[in-house]
Chains A and B, each alone.
Chain A
Amino acid sequence: MKKSLLGLFFICSAFLNAQDTVKVATNMTPDQLAELDYNNGLAALKKNDPTTAVDMFTKALTAKPNFDKALANRAIAYTHLKKHAEAIKDINDAIKINPQNPDTYFNKGLIFFETNQKDSEQVALDYCLKLKPTHAEAAYYKGLAHYESNEPDKAITFYSQAITSNPQYVYAYNDRASVKRSKGDYAGAIADYEKALSIDGSLVFIHNNLGSAYRLNKNYTKAVEAYSAAYQKNPAYLTALINRGAANFESNNLKAAQTDFEDALKKDPDNSFCYNNLSSIALKNKDYKKAESMAKLAIDHDEKNGAAYYNRGIARQMLRDTDGSCADWKKALTLGVESAKAFINSSCE
């Protein structure tokens, strides 16, 4: 074999900081050259170097134009580079060469998902599932698409299909739980989150989601437990600590809530959420000056924190600063805090 290859010449050239194109002369077989470039492209893709990957897949395709895998992978590289039109063209070319590959349709669906072309996404994922009904990921993304289209029942159906195809599909359990939660089915959500954690208990965000489901179900003891589990597994995951504070707040355990928010602030002194939540505690304690100052800090750290404007508006109203409170509620409304509208209507000019 070595001898036969000794007669072959292969040259590929690339420049460090390349800015010139090199014509490569070779007397390797085109397929071999293409495969080599393909593998190099794949290696680059895995190293998160989509630019090099595109170059290598392109070389592979120059040598072997009907190389469907190179087309499929170049599409992925293009997607990483946000060159979605090029990606879709490659995917379509790959499908023309090999129309029976469900993964290619799946990728196509995801690229449309990425570009928010929901109808096309659905068509591609449907093709994928037609070719392979047990394609769990395709079912998962169908579920996700329906969830985001505010079709919770359909979302649950597809998430369930994904789970049937892959009973260990943790993310499908998590997402289905979240859909159930959005429907007010907190018990169902809790069951799914717990199932997900029984498969992979290391996923702190699912512990956190479980805590929030318990919180919505007004089971603050269990909520605090779940948030604590998330935080203990990853002490850098301040989301769980802040949410635990919120659960403590809602169960009127203001002292514990304050400790949580202050602990989170020690780790992240710029955390706007913590300042705002401390403002909420001050409001509960009718310490309106402190509430105002805490909300201000929250705004200073995140000028888009609508809740902070909302809370400062409450504090300012109680401090008899009507103009200030109305300005804050109007700002909160522009930032999406719909509940500010009622205050504006009832208390502002």
Chain B
Amino acid sequence: MKKLIYLLTFLALAFLLPAQTVEFEKDNFPGRKDELKAARKQLDIGIEFFMQGRREFDDFRRGFVSEFKYLPVSQYDYRKAGYKNFRDALSPLMEAQKFNPKNARLNYMLGFIWFISDPSNPETLKFFETVIKLDGEVEPDDYYWLAWAYHLNDKWDLAIQYYKVYLAHIQAKGKNPYEIDDVNKKIAECNVGKELSAKPERVFVDNLGSEVNTSWPDYGPSITADEETVIFTARRDNSTGGKRDDGDNGYYEDVYVSYKKNGKWQTSTQLSKNVNSDGHDAAAGLSPDGSKLYVYRHSGKDGGDLYESTLFGADWEAPVHMNKNINTRYHESSVSTSFDGKRLYFVSDKESGLGDRDIYYSDMDVKGEWGPAKNIGSMINTKYGEEAVFMHPDGVTMYFSSKGHNTMGGYDIFKTTLAPNGLWSKPVNLGYPINGPDDDVFFVVSGSGSRAYFASAKTGGFGDKDLYRITFLGPEKTPLLNSSDQLIAMRANPVSNLKVENEVEVKMAKVTILKGVVTDAKTNQPLESAIELVDNDKNVVIATFKSNSATGKYLVTLPSGKNYGLAVKRDGYLFHSENFNLPEGADYQEFTKDVALKKIEIGSIIVLKNIFFDFDKATIRPESANELERLIKLLNDNPTIKIELGSHTDSKGSDEYNMKLSDSRSNSVVSYLIGKGISASRLVAKGYGETKPIDTNDTDEGRQNNRRTEFKILEK
């Protein structure tokens, strides 16, 4: 059923195309007889060369199938078979093409020649597409080559489409199974390519630059672990001996080196003639420490062998042919050693392999010789051929190229790791764009694993193959956003959740705040001083405290509705006494009493506000005791001072009476003091009556202020 569908598709495509092939016949070119003749001549010449080339090509193909039991899977497998004849055919055919660009068969030949020399070139596609437009049936394998050309240009869907058309054709014709297998493999490769290219690996691919690369083929890089030295193969016009290879007309290979200085690659140079001979000398590998270089040479008899060169000083010694455990009469190439130099991995196409080229390994024996080679096994090697083995210095990761596994075309690079049990993991395709439908080989990875080096003929280079560096970027990196939440409601301030005990009910008196500032009377500077508070009703000292040393401030809370005596004392100063009532009032009131203390100086006068007498008498009341004690202490602390005790009355009563009363009261105080041990010689009693009021006598408050006992410093 499938075959039928493809056949119908094939026929439909051919049938629906409007264009027709134009044969080189006079009816198609009226009036251009001579030109037609010349074109036909060129065409005949071209066809002759082409057919010869095609015969060589087909012979090679048959031989390949005979040897490997499958068709060439890479365009390079054809090794440019028939190339010389195709090259000779190209010019006359192009002349004919100029005259008649619409001949299907001619376009087919040109497409084929382009494919053999440069399969991914757009010219290849152009000629093959023209064939399909003109006459798809003229050369049915045109679909195959067109599909492969699309394949090599990453046009996966178109490639699959035409591969399937061709598959239907060959199945209908009953072609041999190798062809069917080949087309199916290529369809599978396209599907892999389609899948992997849809999820490209994130890499930077950077050309190593013009100091390393040239317009000639530069390929096969080996790198030291520190990425400071790259050794590679090139086929340049300065090749040692200056000879060209007959097979492809390219210069013989030589080994080149470039060193990195200050992060920049220096101009690449040829290794000396110790290493480079007149023939092919290719870099096949480098030991991780850069001390041993493995060189591939092909003498024509040995199928290509491996040599080992040792770095001696600044130069490489002449390469030594590796022993028979490594080299055979077959092709040996590509070497990599383990990080400790005890195991050698290499590639050989000897008969004992699993297919085309395989990877082998050899362990160094006790004598320091490489032992018998062993095939690395079917987990790695396939029937399609492996190449370019590279063992990473980590000792477990191997990179190699294979045309088998899930390649997307030709050689792809794969990675496998060595498990502790000695088994290799299933190889993983390194993905697109590291790999593509073309051959991807000679891939070496830096010691850090973050970069790799390889060769490619991709566009944008300096010509043919160039060396490139891959920087692995890893998976797509999702940017990190800043955002925040308050996930826990109370975490920020748990103390605020503490359970506070409630207020208690207190039955308390109304209070008054008494506050004030104690200063020096002259300087107004704040003074620290002792303050004594007396309940005059009870005649008891209820508090002693100090004013603030810095500010002179004091503050007390007192029950209201009482009479208090306040005494402020400081050494070197006369004490200050106050007598005051705190009247009943609001629940809370403030009362300010600033005090200016006077220094003990002659003439200083202090009112003794807390000396009380019985009404109209000179009898000192008991509540005067505290004030008098302060006075006694002052006299005792200052034994040289002499004072006058003066008593004053208000204006009520006669002057004579008041004078007498005041005299009596001052004498009472002096007598009290003498009775307490103060020398009489230090005391003078003086009654002033109402002669020296300090306030008005028209008010109760004024009269109260005028009724007073003072003392004055007479001597000091």
Interface residues of A (CB under 8 A from B): 1-2, 5-6, 8-20, 22-28, 32, 35-36, 38-39, 42, 45-46, 69-70, 72-73, 76, 79-80, 103-104, 106-107, 110-111, 113-114, 137, 140-141, 144, 147, 170-171, 174-175, 178, 181-182, 205-206, 208-209, 212, 239, 242-243, 246, 249-250, 272-273, 276-277, 279-280, 283-284, 291, 298, 305-308, 310-311, 314, 317-318, 320, 322, 337, 339, 342-343, 346-349
Q: Is there contact, CB below 8 Å, between A349 and B480?
A: no
List residues of chain A with CB within 8 A of the CB of B511: 10
- Is there a chain A Cβ closer than 8 Å to B481's Cβ? yes
- Is there a chain A Cβ closer than 8 Å to B29's Cβ? no
Q: Is there contact, CB below 8 Å, between B450 and A347?
A: yes
Q: Is there contact, CB below 8 Å, between A23 and B484?
A: no
List residues of chain A with CB within 8 A of the CB of B495: 76, 79-80, 110, 114
Q: Is there contact, CB below 8 Å, between A279 and B479?
A: yes
Q: Is there contact, CB below 8 Å, between A305 and B487?
A: no
Query: What residue of chain B has the Cβ atom nearest to residue A196's Cβ?
Result: B489
Query: What residue of chain B has the Cβ atom nearest to residue A73's Cβ?
Result: B501
Q: Is there contact, CB below 8 Å, between A208 and B559?
A: no
Chosen A-B contacts, 12 in total, with CB atoms closer than 8 Å, are A5-B559, A15-B553, A79-B495, A140-B490, A170-B489, A175-B488, A175-B490, A239-B485, A239-B486, A280-B479, A314-B479, A317-B473
* Chain B window 469-497, contacts with chain A (Cβ cutoff 8 Å), 1 for yes, 0 for no: 00111100101111111111111001101
List residues of chain A with CB within 8 A of the CB of B555: 13-16
Contact of A13 among B504, B550, B551, B557 (CB under 8 A): B557
Q: Is there contact, CB below 8 Å, between B490 and A9?
A: no
Q: How far is the CA of A318 from the CA of B477 in the complex (A)?
A: 11
Contact of B480 among A20, A24, A318, A337 (CB under 8 A): A337
List residues of chain B with CB within 8 A of the CB of A279: 479
Q: Is there contact, CB below 8 Å, between B479 and A322?
A: no
Q: Is there contact, CB below 8 Å, between B486 and A205?
A: yes
Q: Is there contact, CB below 8 Å, between B551 and A17?
A: yes
Closest beta carbon of chain B to A111's beta carbon, Å: 8
Asked if A342 meets B474 with Cβ closer than 8 Å, knowing A16-B548, A25-B543, the reply is yes
Q: Is there contact, CB below 8 Å, between B548 and A276?
A: no
Q: Is there contact, CB below 8 Å, between A15 and B554?
A: yes
4 closest A-B pairs by CB: A280-B479, A171-B489, A273-B482, A103-B499
List residues of chain B with CB within 8 A of the CB of A246: 481-483
List residues of chain A with CB within 8 A of the CB of B488: 144, 147, 174-175, 178
Q: How far is the CA of A28 from the CA of B500 in the complex (A)?
A: 26
Q: Is there contact, CB below 8 Å, between B501 and A69?
A: yes
* Chain B window 506-530, contacts with chain A (Cβ cutoff 8 Å), 1 for yes, 0 for no: 1111010001000000000000000
Q: How far is the CA of A78 from the CA of B487 in the complex (A)?
A: 28
Q: Is there contact, CB below 8 Å, between A311 and B507?
A: no
List residues of chain A with CB within 8 A of the CB of B491: 144
List residues of chain B with CB within 8 A of the CB of A283: 479
Asked if A178 meets B559 with Cβ closer than 8 Å, knowing A36-B506, A36-B508, A137-B497, the reply is no
Query: What residue of chain A has the Cβ atom nearest to residue B561's Cβ?
Result: A6
- Is there a chain A Cβ closer than 8 Å to B545's Cβ? yes
Q: Is there contact, CB below 8 Å, between B481 and A25?
A: no
Q: How far is the CA of A113 from the CA of B507 in the complex (A)?
A: 38
Q: How far is the CA of A314 from the CA of B478 in the complex (A)?
A: 9
Given contacts A141-B494, A280-B481, A307-B482, 9 further A-B contacts (CB under 8 A): A6-B559, A8-B509, A8-B559, A25-B542, A38-B503, A76-B495, A137-B499, A246-B482, A276-B480
Q: How far is the CA of A161 from the CA of B474 in the complex (A)?
A: 49
List residues of chain A with CB within 8 A of the CB of B486: 205, 208-209, 239
Q: Would you list which residues of chain B between 252 and 272 have a CB under 8 Å from chain A?
A: none
Q: How far is the CA of A307 from the CA of B479 in the complex (A)?
A: 8
Q: Is there contact, CB below 8 Å, between B504 and A35?
A: yes
Q: How far is the CA of A322 from the CA of B498 in the complex (A)?
A: 54
- Is there a chain A Cβ closer than 8 Å to B558's Cβ? yes
Q: Is there contact, CB below 8 Å, between B472 and A346?
A: yes
Q: How far is the CA of A320 from the CA of B544 in the complex (A)?
A: 81
- Is there a chain A Cβ closer than 8 Å to B464's Cβ? no
- Is there a chain A Cβ closer than 8 Å to B549's Cβ? yes
Contact of A19 among B497, B499, B549, B561 (CB under 8 A): B549
Q: Is there contact, CB below 8 Å, between B556 and A311?
A: no
List residues of chain A with CB within 8 A of the CB of B507: 1, 5, 32
- Is there a chain A Cβ closer than 8 Å to B562's Cβ? yes
- Is there a chain A Cβ closer than 8 Å to B321's Cβ? no
Asked if A346 meets B474 with Cβ closer than 8 Å, knowing A14-B555, A175-B487, the reply is yes
Q: Is there contact, CB below 8 Å, between B543 and A11?
A: yes
- Is there a chain A Cβ closer than 8 Å to B56's Cβ? no
List residues of chain A with CB within 8 A of the CB of B480: 276, 280, 306-307, 310-311, 337, 339
Q: Would you list which residues of chain B between 310 and 366 have a CB under 8 Å from chain A?
A: none
Q: Is there contact, CB below 8 Å, between A243 and B484?
A: yes
Closest beta carbon of chain B to A104's beta carbon, Å: 8
List residues of chain B with CB within 8 A of the CB of A25: 541-544
Q: Is there contact, CB below 8 Å, between B545 and A314?
A: no
Most chain B beta-carbon contacts within 10 A, residue among A22, A170, A175, A305: A22
Q: Is there contact, CB below 8 Å, between B503 and A39?
A: yes
Closest beta carbon of chain A to B490's beta carbon, Å: 6
Asked if A20 meets B549 with Cβ closer than 8 Å, knowing A12-B556, A69-B504, A76-B498, the reply is yes
Contact of A307 among B471, B481, B515, B544 (CB under 8 A): B481
- Is there a chain A Cβ closer than 8 Å to B704's Cβ? no
Query: What residue of chain B has the Cβ atom nearest to residue A22's Cβ?
Result: B545
Q: Would you list which residues of chain B between 458 and 474 have a CB under 8 Å from chain A?
A: 471-474
List residues of chain A with CB within 8 A of the CB of B44: none
List residues of chain A with CB within 8 A of the CB of B554: 13, 15
Q: Is there contact, CB below 8 Å, between A277 and B506?
A: no
Query: What residue of chain B has the Cβ atom nearest to residue A215's Cβ?
Result: B483
Q: Is there contact, CB below 8 Å, between A348 and B557?
A: no
List residues of chain B with CB within 8 A of the CB of A107: 498-499
Closest beta carbon of chain B to A238's beta carbon, Å: 10
Closest beta carbon of chain A to B578's beta carbon, Å: 16
Asked if A311 meets B471 with Cβ closer than 8 Å, knowing A36-B508, A73-B501, the reply is no
- Is there a chain A Cβ closer than 8 Å to B20's Cβ? no
Q: Is there contact, CB below 8 Å, between A9 and B499?
A: no
Q: Is there contact, CB below 8 Å, between B551 and A273?
A: no
Query: What residue of chain B has the Cβ atom nearest to residue A204's Cβ?
Result: B486
Closest beta carbon of chain B to A54's beta carbon, Å: 14
Q: How far is the CA of A280 from the CA of B483 in the complex (A)?
A: 12
Closest beta carbon of chain A to B596's beta carbon, Å: 19
Most chain B beta-carbon contacts within 10 A, residue among A15, A174, A175, A298: A15
Q: How far is the CA of A10 from the CA of B533 in the complex (A)?
A: 12
Closest beta carbon of chain B to A43's beta carbon, Å: 8
Q: Is there contact, CB below 8 Å, between B504 and A39?
A: yes
Q: How far is the CA of A113 from the CA of B485 in the complex (A)?
A: 22
List residues of chain A with CB within 8 A of the CB of B533: 11
List residues of chain B with CB within 8 A of the CB of A171: 489-490
Q: How far is the CA of A76 from the CA of B501 in the complex (A)?
A: 10
- Is there a chain A Cβ closer than 8 Å to B204's Cβ? yes
Asked if A19 meets B550 with Cβ closer than 8 Å, knowing A72-B501, A144-B488, the reply is yes
List residues of chain A with CB within 8 A of the CB of B41: none
List residues of chain B with CB within 8 A of the CB of A15: 547-548, 553-555
Query: What residue of chain B has the Cβ atom nearest to residue A317's Cβ?
Result: B473
Asked if A19 meets B501 with Cβ closer than 8 Å, knowing A11-B533, A311-B480, A337-B480, the reply is no
Asked if A242 meets B479 with Cβ closer than 8 Å, knowing A11-B533, A35-B504, A347-B472, the reply is no
Q: Is there contact, CB below 8 Å, between A10 and B559?
A: yes
Q: How far is the CA of A18 from the CA of B562 in the complex (A)?
A: 26
- Is there a chain A Cβ closer than 8 Å to B546's Cβ? yes
Q: Is there contact, CB below 8 Å, between A23 and B482?
A: no
List residues of chain B with CB within 8 A of the CB of A298: 482
List residues of chain B with CB within 8 A of the CB of A28: 508
- Is there a chain A Cβ closer than 8 Å to B535's Cβ? yes
Q: Is there contact, CB below 8 Å, between A348 and B450?
A: yes
* Chain B window 661-694, contacts with chain A (Cβ cutoff 8 Å), 1 for yes, 0 for no: 0000000000000000000000000000000000
